[in-house]
Chains A and B, each alone.
Chain A
């Protein structure tokens, strides 16, 4: 039953893809090829696309053009020909590096701090107004402040990632730790379990599913924010790549980058979904 459901789901998925590709094909097939004007041809040559067809540079590519572009990008993802011409892999690596760094710093601060907040009702009451105030601020709103104080744009991007991923982790950790069942804590108390052993062997595993959920939400937000942050700071990264290709009017590359952002985001999320499955326990 479930197997056939999955199979039917897959078939339907493929059908949707086919309809989408067909629509795309119909929408992008030019009614008649018009000779590109002088300026356009010059621009196309600049982009190195004059031979393969102006459509690639000038408008939305057809599925076939897009496929060949994607293949070209994916077959050599790590080339580096100067600041404005790097492979998609290099750009993604820059973005992932920033996310990893900002996220790791956020986790290192948010999880222990969340632990203490969850354990101490006093700390919870004291810090809650600040958390509630800071949490809804768009991470990008911090950008000017970050740029002014930190002065370095690359560090500012990492700071923005940090600030956006810290809240869900902090709140979920505190919530998970505060919500550990009293019975389990009583078990630890009657067994005279020391504070460190209690923290790592009782509270941490009990709160782990909630903590990982927070980490998963944070990672999702961080990956959303990095694209916008890199559009602002420029230089490297997938966000900059998208913006640069838009300035080049290379819509094919923009679409390709957008697709890659989706794929990476999906992989990151499934990584955390797996982790979540590992720490989840049935009561």
Chain B
């Protein structure tokens, strides 16, 4: 497929040989991380605390520097934060002295300094409506519930229309019910905008619901990207029916098995020697271990999506 060749030659985000060491006398948190994200892909990263997930995301966001390795976005090396990447912070990080609409206007005006006040307000209102918070535009963040604050954070990130959305456990602090509602919204928005997303989560179900690819990290220190699980469930997923699909439990079991067992074993096996690539796994369509039909089926799905994405 020519499309696949094109896509492989120029991934949107390319991470090569990334490692991070906070102190010289301590082992690296993670090392030799390599992965790619294509346009329109929704990628989740899962791993235990301390494996450096947040650090990787912060490197992509430009907020932190890696000890070695490069991160390239759209053929440009990442050297600092930028408006091409929207960040949804774990603790929403809204400016508490501004109202909801002022928070979003602050972001929009940063993106479009030449826009009129009215245009900024209209643009912001559209994204506020998208997350279902039109009625709360004049409230201060302190007057909102945790879920609403997080939605404002998402609206703010979407409002600058970034090429890539970075989310660091955006729903970690929310109760299960609210989390579900916002996940549904996010799914809808991403389907509509074909947003490229890189997201950290601790929640296996969330990853299966949202992601096209789920990256699994072994435990830190010496953490590495051990596996990339392709989500072979059809993309039109929804929370109410997803668990009826037989693939769902196969993927879920695979992920849980990794988290509770294999992540430790990989760490115990010793530091990465350098060149081993992460295993591409498609547990959803595999009948047994190492089935050959699986990976291909998984890739075909991604290609089909890639062809449809506006890039």
Task: Determine if A191 and B97 form an interchain contact, defined as CB atoms under 8 angstroms apart.
Answer: no
Given contacts A186-B63, A191-B106, A191-B160, contact A283 B111 (CB under 8 A): no
Q: Contacts of A283 on B, CB cut-off 8 Å? A: 96, 141-142
B17 at the interface (CB under 8 A from A): no
Task: Determine if B93 and A184 form an interchain contact, defined as CB atoms under 8 angstroms apart.
Answer: yes
A201 to B102, CA, bound (A): 11
Task: Determine if A191 and B83 form an interchain contact, defined as CB atoms under 8 angstroms apart.
Answer: yes
A202 to B106, CA, bound (A): 10
A208 to B62, CA, bound (A): 28
Task: Determine if A281 and B140 form an interchain contact, defined as CB atoms under 8 angstroms apart.
Answer: yes
- The count of chain B contact residues (Cβ–Cβ below 8 Å) is 25
Please report whether the interface of chain A is mostly helix, strand, loop or mixed according to DSSP: helix
Within the complex, what minimum Cβ distance (angstroms) separates A5 from chain B?
Answer: 26
Task: Determine if A183 and B93 form an interchain contact, defined as CB atoms under 8 angstroms apart.
Answer: yes
Which residue in A190, A197, A205, A206 is a CB contact (below 8 Å) of B86?
A: A190
B107 at the interface (CB under 8 A from A): yes
Q: Contacts of A192 on B, CB cut-off 8 Å? A: 81-83, 110
Given contacts A184-B93, A205-B95, A283-B96, contact A191 B140 (CB under 8 A): no
A181 to B141, CA, bound (A): 16
Q: Considering the complex, give the chain B residue whose CB is closest to the CB of A202.
A: B95
Within the complex, what minimum Cβ distance (angstroms) separates B247 from chain A?
Answer: 36
Task: Determine if A190 and B62 form an interchain contact, defined as CB atoms under 8 angstroms apart.
Answer: yes
Scoring B96, B107, B141 by chain A CB atoms within 10 A of each residue's CB, the highest score goes to: B96
Task: Determine if A201 and B96 form an interchain contact, defined as CB atoms under 8 angstroms apart.
Answer: no
B35 at the interface (CB under 8 A from A): no
Task: Determine if A187 and B95 form an interchain contact, defined as CB atoms under 8 angstroms apart.
Answer: yes
Please report whether the interface of chain B is mostly helix, strand, loop or mixed according to DSSP: loop
Q: Contacts of A281 on B, CB cut-off 8 Å? A: 96-97, 140, 142
B249 at the interface (CB under 8 A from A): no
- Mark each residue of chain B from 125 to 163: 1 if its CB lies under 8 Å from any CB of chain A, else 0: 000000000000000111000000000000000001000
A201 to B80, CA, bound (A): 21
Task: Determine if A190 and B97 form an interchain contact, defined as CB atoms under 8 angstroms apart.
Answer: no
Q: Contacts of B224 on A, CB cut-off 8 Å? A: none
A281 to B111, CA, bound (A): 26
Q: Contacts of B216 on A, CB cut-off 8 Å? A: none
A187 to B86, CA, bound (A): 10
A187 to B141, CA, bound (A): 15
Within the complex, what minimum Cβ distance (angstroms) separates A116 from chain B?
Answer: 22
A174 to B62, CA, bound (A): 27
A181 to B92, CA, bound (A): 13
Task: Determine if B89 and A186 form an interchain contact, defined as CB atoms under 8 angstroms apart.
Answer: yes
Considering only residues 168-204 of chain A, those with a C-beta below 8 Å from chain B are: 181, 183-184, 186-187, 189-193, 197, 201-202
Within the complex, what minimum Cβ distance (angstroms) separates B153 from chain A?
Answer: 9
A39 at the interface (CB under 8 A from B): no
Q: Considering the complex, give the chain A residue whose CB is closest to the CB of B61.
A: A190
Pairs across A and B, CB under 8 Å, 16 listed: A186-B89, A187-B87, A187-B95, A189-B81, A190-B63, A190-B85, A191-B83, A191-B106, A191-B110, A192-B82, A192-B110, A201-B106, A205-B97, A279-B97, A281-B142, A283-B142
Which 9 A/B pairs are nearest by Cβ-Cβ distance?
A: A282-B142, A191-B110, A183-B93, A281-B97, A190-B81, A189-B81, A281-B96, A205-B97, A190-B87
